[in-house]
Amino acid sequence: MSRQVLYGWGRTASSVAQVVTASDEAAVASILATSPHVVARGLGRSYGDAAQLSGGVVLDNRELGGIGDISDDGVVTVGAGVSIEQLLTRSIPQGWFVPVTPGTRQVTMGGAVAADVHGKNHHVDGSFARHVLELRLVTPSGPLTVSPTTDAELFWATMGGMGLTGVMTSVTIQMLKIETDQVLVDTDRFADLDAVMAAMAEGDQRYRYSVAWVDCMTRGAHMGRAILTRGDHAARSDVPTPQLQAPRAAKIAVPFDAPSGLLNPLTIKLFNEAWFRSAPSHRARQAQSLSTFFHPLDGVRDWNRLYGRRGFVQYQFCVPDDAGETVVEAIRQLSASRVPSFLAVLKRFGASNPGPLSFPMPGWTLALDLPVGPAKLAGVLDDLDELVLGVGGRLYFAKDARLGPDKIRAMYPRLDEFLRIKHRVDPENRLTSDLARRLHLVGT
């Protein structure tokens, strides 16, 4: 047990909490029983304040390990503190891939469920929740097994519930069969946003994986120029030497905080330019490793330090299918404001799931990395909130570090339903977080 300063991946708004570990369900239950306020924390990859709790107890879940045998049909039970990297290291050689992965392998199972993470295959396979068969959840009312058929409402409240329904100890998921550790990737370059969005709307259904990188710094005719990469797992017959190799750990690390301002409009513009030009205008069926395709940033450890001491925020929103022009308008406002933003990620979402706080909805999602610093940034993002809300869209809790409480009910109209379920298992609101307090998710 130790007092530690904690912050999210964006390295903003830190706070101090008692950090404790637990390696089994009984230990988790005892921490929950003796602490007035608790939240679980995994690898700290949520960008804002979701996995911190000032003055409270933060349960580091990484000792909740253990990877069970993967069954013949790809079902595996994994400790909530096991990372996607650890799971892949075990599963890829056996021909299994995680059904959904975000842009990093450094996410625990507990974190993946709590944030109901999505990946490049959301338009086809949905978010992480769809592949969860069952989980063990320690609530202040006791440990429970929940699944879509056993206590379905608690199960779905936990998917995307930001850890506010209990502390997960293990998760049972359905893995995806793969024949090789390669992905066949089609790459296309587009000179503007309309073109890439049209291509995605028209062709994404033909691919399991699809994502576009958008340049938000270029104004005028080439506003929102983009690189679209789409693909699927390579079959044995697709590659000359089929292999099933586990991912390798990062070789490069950022050893210290870069000066704030290293990532400024000029350097970001140069980077975006180089990135755009490095992509071919069209290339089909290029074989890439799983790591290169899914987790390019995992190659550099602690890359968030590049943003310096002030840190950065990620702004990720989704809007319904018929509000595609909102994406265009958001990028227009951002490029007009001249606030520097790194390559943005644009993706199509498929169907949403029954989770009352789950983020994805059918339509579009855009994620932007923005260094903290420019005085106008706060106002620019407040304006974007209005834009997103105006078309029935919302922001992603796992990324947010700056919203106020006033827009939450409009973004998540089923919050009261969530709170009713939470109250059933956590009547004293023991499970809370800095995020939950900031957004008044569990009352103040």
Partner 1 sequence: MENAFGQPQNIIVLGGSSDIARAIVKKLCAARAHTVVLAGRNATLLDQASAEAREYGATKTETVLFDAMDPSNAVRTIAECFAKVGDQVDLVLIALGQLGDQRHDENDASAATGSAMVNYVWPVAALAELRHRLVEQGRGRIVVLSSVAAVRVRRSSYLYGGAKAGLDRLCDGLADSLEGTGVTLQLVRPGFVRSKMTAGQKEVPFTTGVNEVAENVLRGLASGERVIWSPPILRYVFALLRHLPAPLWRKIDR
User: Which span sits near partner 1 by CB under 8 A: 185-193, 270-278, 303-311, 332-340?
Assistant: 303-311
Using the rule CB under 8 A, is 152 a contact of partner 1?
no
Burial tier of 444 (Cβ tally within 10 Å: 0-12, 13-18, 19+): exposed
Stretch of 6-14, 95-103, 188-196, 297-305 contacting partner 1, by CB under 8 A = 6-14
What's the one-letter identity of residue 274?
A
Q: Is 55 in the site for partner 1 (CB under 8 A)?
A: yes
Of 190, 188, 197, 191, nearest to 324 (Cα)? Answer: 197
Question: From the list 44, 48, 99, 224, which residue makes contact with partner 1 (rule: CB under 8 A)?
Answer: 48
Give me the least distance between CB of 311 and partner 1, in Å please.
Answer: 7
Number of residues that bind partner 1 (CB under 8 A): 33
**For residue 356, what are its two tokens?**
């009352």
| Residue whose CB is less far from partner 1, 5 or 249 | 5
Q: Which stretch binds partner 1 (CB under 8 A): 162-170, 206-214, 283-291, 395-403?
A: 395-403
Q: What is the DSSP letter of 443?
A: B
Among 331, 434, 441, 442, binds partner 1 (CB under 8 A): 434
Bridge partners, residue 11, by sequence:
none
Q: What are the start-end ranges of the H helices in 50-151?
A: 84-91, 109-114, 122-125
Overall residue count recorded for the chain in this entry: 444
Interface with partner 1 (CB under 8 A), residue from 82, 114, 159, 313:
313
Greatest Cα pair distance in the chain: 60
**Binding to partner 1 by residue 308, rule CB under 8 A?**
no
Burial degree of 374 (CB within 10 A; 0-12, 13-18, 19+): middle
Q: Which helix (H) or strand (E) holds 267?
A: helix 265-278
Region from 265-273, 309-317, 334-342, 410-418 binding partner 1, contact rule CB under 8 A: 309-317
User: Is 29 or 439 the residue whose CB approaches partner 1 more closely?
Assistant: 439
Secondary structure of residue 96 in the 3-state scheme: strand
Query: Would you tell me which residues interact with partner 1 (CB under 8 A)?
Result: 3, 5, 10, 12-17, 48-49, 54-56, 260, 309-311, 313, 372-373, 375, 377-378, 401-405, 434, 437-438, 444
